[in-house]
Every structure is written in C-alpha cells, then in structure tokens.
Amino acid sequence: MITSNTQVRVLVVSGAAMVFVTIAGWMAGGWRVGIGALIGILAGFALYHASFGFTAAWRRFLRERRGAGLRAQFVLIVTTIAVAFPLMHYGRDFGIPVGGFVFPIGVALIVGAFMFGIGMQVANGCASGTLFTVGGGSSRMVVTLAAFVAGSVIATAHIPFWKSLPEEKGFSLIAHFGPFGAFVVTAGALAIIALVSIRLEKREHGSVESARHTGSFLAGPWSLILGALAIAVVSLATLVVLGRPWGITSGFALWGAKIAYAIGIDVTDWEYWRGMKAAVTDRSVFADATSVMNFGIIAGAMAAAALAGKFHPKRSITAREATTAIAGGLLMGYGARLSFGCNIGAYLGGIISGSLHGWIWFIFALAGCLAALPLRRLAGMDPARPATTSAPVVATVQK
C-alpha cells in the first residue's frame, strides 16, 4: 500500500508517464502502437509485483536446485502456446495475421546467447528485469540499461562479420508438425524438464518449494503463477495487436543508434541500419512499438512500486556495483543483437513461435549463467550457499 507522500508523488508521475507514452505512441505510430503502450504498462505492473524475472530464477535452479521460478516460466510458455500456435497457423483465415520469430541457427546465435547468459548474471538482471527494476527505482539498473543500449548498438557495427559465420536456416515446429503436434512436442519437452527439476529439488532439499499469493492485486506481492499468467496475457495481446511476438532489445539498439547519430556517428552507413535509415534519422522513437512497450514497462513498474510503498531509489552505488552493471549490460546488449533478442524476444518469443532457435538460445544462455556463477563469487555478489532443508519454503525471486 501507499505509505507516504513520496509514494503518492511517484504514483502521479508514473500515471502521467503512462498517459504520455500511450498518446505519443498512438500519434506517432498509430492505434496499434498506442495499445502496445498499454500492454507494456500491464507487463511492467505484473513483472514488478510478481518479481517475475529470469535471472534469479535460473540462478536459483543452477546454484540451489530450487526450481519454482523456472517452472513458472514453463507455465507462461505452455499457456501462451495453447493460443499462439493455432493463431499463427489459422489466424490469417480469421483476419488476424500473426507471424512468429523463426531465425537461423548458427555460431552467432550460440555465442550471443552464451554472452547474454553471462551478462544477465553479472548485471543481476535480464532485459525485462532491467526495465522493471529501473521503474521500481533501482539506480544500479539505470547503469545496466545504459550499458545494455551501448552494447546493442556496438554489436550492430559487427553484424556483417557474425553473418559470415556458419549457420543453418530456421526450423519451425508449427510448419513441420502443425499447431497441435508442435504443442505436444513443446509442452512435452517442458514437462520433462520440469519433472527433472522437481526430482533434483527433492533430492537436494527433501521437498519442493511452494509459491502462494500473499498480497493484494494492486499492492502485491503476486505469486509466480499469477505473474506467469499475466505475462502470458501480455504475450498474447502483443501477438494480436502487433502481429508478432513480444520483443524488447531491438528498441535498445534503436535508442543507441539514435544517440550515436545525434553525436555525429553516422550509423546509417552500417549494414544493419541501411534498411532502417528513416527510423534512426527521421521518425520519432514513439513510432517504434518495441520502444513504446519498453517505456510502458518502466511506467507500469513505477506505479506498482508506488502502490506497494516500495519506491525508494538508492542515490549512490559502489564501484563494484557500477563495474558489474556496466560489464553485464554490455555483454547482454552485444549478445542480444547476435542471438535475435533476450529472454523475451529469443527465448519466450522463439519458443512460442515454434522455432528451434528459441530452444538453442535457452540451452546456451543457461550455460552462460552457469559459467557466470564463479564470476559472481569472485565479485562478492553471492553469499554462502544456503544449507539444504527438508522443510517447505515459500518461493521468492530476487529483483
């Protein structure tokens, strides 16, 4: 709940930001972009209240064998593909044309996903996590976001090299097995991983952690499952309104390109931007649906933090915090451009499109997270590993 005048002021500011972003998006990009802003606001609200991130969930599983966060992601995916697969296959027949993200599988994808996995653990947040924690008042994640933007635009300068490396064309489960067959394959694979995670968790702790809803809808906190269902709504709404899966990091690359162009670096000469020159030089950033959704996430998370009485930004950060934020942000930005996105665009967007590249991204990003654990220990980011216990615990996800 709101506990001070400061929280009230933050709520007013976030409300004004929501209105501005929605109107600006509608005017610059049309009604679909305006609706995209509202979808982003819902995403930010849900991400904050459920603390629904990927970074801590993956780390908890790899480090502690606690898998509630990982399994909540699978609930999100299965819920989404139950609608998304038929929609992608039959939607055009009903006047709802929807396209998926089906991208090539090659060296760039593997290297980029691995880099991203390391970066998300070093930075302590992924792309969506960075946005909702910035909205929640994290000064450190503002630094991460700036480095993320820088890494994204730097990567676009090197795209010709990465495209020259070996790769195979994309593989669509929907195209090969149909929507029902693709659903069975995807849900079955996720179920197997979930069962393995449960077995490992029981072996390590004697029980499986439980997650329960402990707060109000407006003030939070939400359970992981409620968060997963809300993000599924966000994913499906994005499909219907924008005609493609939800993405985040292409907006970061565009922000970086616009900043670079404004200070005299003509990025439009780079191969990556040649077909998007107008987006860099002429069009408003509010014409870009991904950017507008990103702004909406920040505003929605800010409102959620104020309603919970938790918007208390830390005004200073340590040298270690700044260093890890910059290093992690650069790795994530660069890796995301090589591997067609982040946890949202590549992992979630790829798998709900029935694309094999989403699974490859998941595997190598998870490997990157595992490789980053010793780096986190060296940087003093992780406390001693918790002792195992047979008592059930309530699931929490660190922001």
Is residue 257 scored above 70 in pLDDT?
A: yes
Q: What is the mean pLDDT of the chain?
A: 92
Q: Where are the alpha helices (DSSP H) in 124-223?
A: 127-135, 139-157, 159-163, 173-205
Note the pLDDT of residue 395: 41
Q: Is residue 389 part of a domain?
A: no
Is residue 386 scored above 60 in pLDDT?
A: no
Note the pLDDT of residue 216: 78
Mean pLDDT, rounded, for 335-347: 96
Distance CA 250, CA 247 (A): 7
Note the pLDDT of residue 312: 83
Mean pLDDT, rounded, for 17-35: 97
**φ, ψ for residue 355, nearest 5 deg:** -95, 135
Mean pLDDT, rounded, for 232-248: 97
Nearest to 347 by CA among 116, 67, 60, 123: 116
Mean pLDDT, rounded, for 316-342: 95
Note the pLDDT of residue 382: 83
Nearest to 158 by CA among 334, 331, 341: 334
Distance CA 154, CA 75 (A): 35
Mean pLDDT, rounded, for 126-153: 94
Q: Which two tokens stand for residue 316?
A: 């200073």
Q: Is residue 387 part of a domain?
A: no
More confident residue, 156 or 390: 156
Would you place residue 390 in the very low, low, confident or very high pLDDT band (cuts 50, 70, 90)? Answer: very low
Distance CA 388, CA 65 (A): 10
Q: Euclidean distance between the first and final Cα of the chain, in Å? A: 19
The residue with tokens 């982003």 is: 40
Q: Is residue 365 part of a domain?
A: yes
Q: Which two tokens stand for residue 24?
A: 């600006």
Would you place residue 2 in the very low, low, confident or very high pLDDT band (cuts 50, 70, 90)? Answer: low
- Residues of the domain holding 304: 5-378
Distance CA 367, CA 129 (A): 19
Cβ proximity of 227 and 129 under 8 Å: no
Give me the percent of the chain exceeding a pLDDT of 70.
94
Q: Is residue 364 part of a domain?
A: yes
Q: Is residue 393 part of a domain?
A: no
Give me the percent of the chain exceeding a pLDDT of 90.
83
Q: Is residue 322 part of a domain?
A: yes
Note the pLDDT of residue 391: 43
Q: Is residue 91 part of a domain?
A: yes
How many domains in the chain?
1
Most confidently modeled range among 220-229, 338-347, 390-399: 338-347
Q: Is residue 242 part of a domain?
A: yes
Cβ proximity of 83 and 71 under 8 Å: no
pLDDT tens per residue across span 57-70: 999 999 999 999 99
Would you place residue 399 in the very low, low, confident or very high pLDDT band (cuts 50, 70, 90)? Answer: very low
| C-beta atoms surrounding 189 within 10 Å | 13
Q: Which of 136-140, 271-275, 289-293, 393-397 has the weakest average pLDDT?
A: 393-397
Is residue 108 scored above 80 in pLDDT?
A: yes
